[in-house]
Amino acid sequence: MNSNYSIIPFCIAIALAIGWVVSPLDRSISEALGQRAEVESLRQLDSQFGQGLSVAVLGGYRSVTANLVWLSKNRNWEKRDLAGTFAKIGLVTSIDPRPEIFWLNGARIIANDMPAWVVGDRNTNQLASTEEGRKVAHQYAKRALLLLEKSRVHHSENPDIYLEEAMIYWLKLDDLERAAERVLRATQAMNPPYHAFRIYGEMLTRLGRKQEALGFLERHYKTLPDNSPEAMKIVVGDRIRALRQEIATSGEDEV
């Protein structure tokens, strides 16, 4: 019991220290980045955070400290503070890069929320319909990809990171070819989810590579267990039959 109580003062001290470290950090980054931070800002965060991080992780309580910083980030997010939110995402992933959720949610905030903050809620349609809006969407999509690239040091075999990159390439940058490459990499990572294989098959089909999609799904089908809801073996089998029919009808099987 004594050991449980002994950590409480330490956690309180960490919380106070984080407030002390982060407050001037927010101001300095806001001044340095303003509302038009460049992609390089994420790369510069580590050097700016150096001494603060050493204090924050003292004693090995990285997880506690990182969660406190993430919670403090929510205030910046609610205020739609671009510079402050960038700073906290960079800080929390520097303190404790182990949880994938910091990287994934950070990238989603950058790719999905920040463009809307720039153009305003009433103008979000411009992100897809106007040249200027697309430039904003692409700018922040590339920043999100940069963040995910930094995660590779700690999550090189994490399929969820590759799938997140794929969705950004596909939905934000309209680059289905690059998206398919990232999904394929997800299927080759450690413990890939079943849906990654189905997504890759569909992406190949959309790219007009139906023969390749058919071969890929047929190989995948042979590895699927019969009684796993997640594997969706029946659905994969149906898609294989549909692809065979499409290829036969179009004459692609003769190529």
> Which string of DSSP letters, residue by residue, matches 187-243?
HTSSS--HHHHHHHHHHHHHTT-HHHHHHHHHHHHHH--TT-TTT-HHHHHHHHHHH
Which one, of 4, 2, 49, lies nearest residue 28 by Cα? 49
In the predicted model, what is the mean pLDDT of residues 245-255? 75
The distance from CA 78 to its chain's CA centroid, rounded to whole angstroms, is 20
- Residue spans of the domains in the chain: they are 7-96, 101-192, 193-255
- Band of the pLDDT at 9, cuts 50, 70, 90? low
Q: What was the pLDDT predicted at 37?
A: 43
pLDDT in tens, 159-189: 999 999 999 999 999 999 999 999 999 999 9
Q: What was the pLDDT predicted at 14?
A: 54
- Band of the pLDDT at 18, cuts 50, 70, 90? low
- The whole-angstrom separation of Cα 201 and Cα 205 is 6
- The whole-angstrom separation of Cα 75 and Cα 63 is 19
pLDDT in tens, 22-77: 455 444 444 444 434 433 443 454 455 544 454 444 446 778 888 999 999 999 99
Q: What was the pLDDT predicted at 251?
A: 72
Q: What was the pLDDT predicted at 117?
A: 96
CATH number of 101-192: 1.25.40
Tell me 98's DSSP state.
-
Q: What was the pLDDT predicted at 66?
A: 87
Q: What was the pLDDT predicted at 83?
A: 94
Q: Give the residue with greater pLDDT, 237 vs 249.
A: 237
In the predicted model, what is the mean pLDDT of residues 5-32? 49
Q: Give the residue with greater pLDDT, 35 vs 128.
A: 128
CA 31 to each of CA 36, 83, 122, 219, 248: distance values in angstroms, whole numbers, following the listed order = 11, 9, 28, 55, 62
Q: Give the residue with greater pLDDT, 147 vs 29.
A: 147
Provide φ and ψ at 83, rounded to 5°.
Answer: -65, -45
Q: What was the pLDDT predicted at 33?
A: 40
Q: Give the residue with greater pLDDT, 143 vs 255.
A: 143
- The whole-angstrom separation of Cα 162 and Cα 196 is 10
Residue 104's contacts (CB-CB under 8 Å, 6 or more residues apart) are 160, 161, 164
Per-residue pLDDT at 229 exceeds 80: yes
Tell me 255's DSSP state.
-
CA 237 to each of CA 198, 201, 202, 214, 231: distance values in angstroms, whole numbers, following the listed order = 11, 12, 13, 11, 11
pLDDT in tens, 192-222: 999 999 999 999 999 999 999 999 999 999 9
Residue 148's contacts (CB-CB under 8 Å, 6 or more residues apart) are 103, 107, 161, 164, 165, 168
Q: What was the pLDDT predicted at 224?
A: 97
In the predicted model, what is the mean pLDDT of residues 151-166? 95
Strand segments (E) across 48-183: none
Share of the chain above pLDDT 70, in %: 75
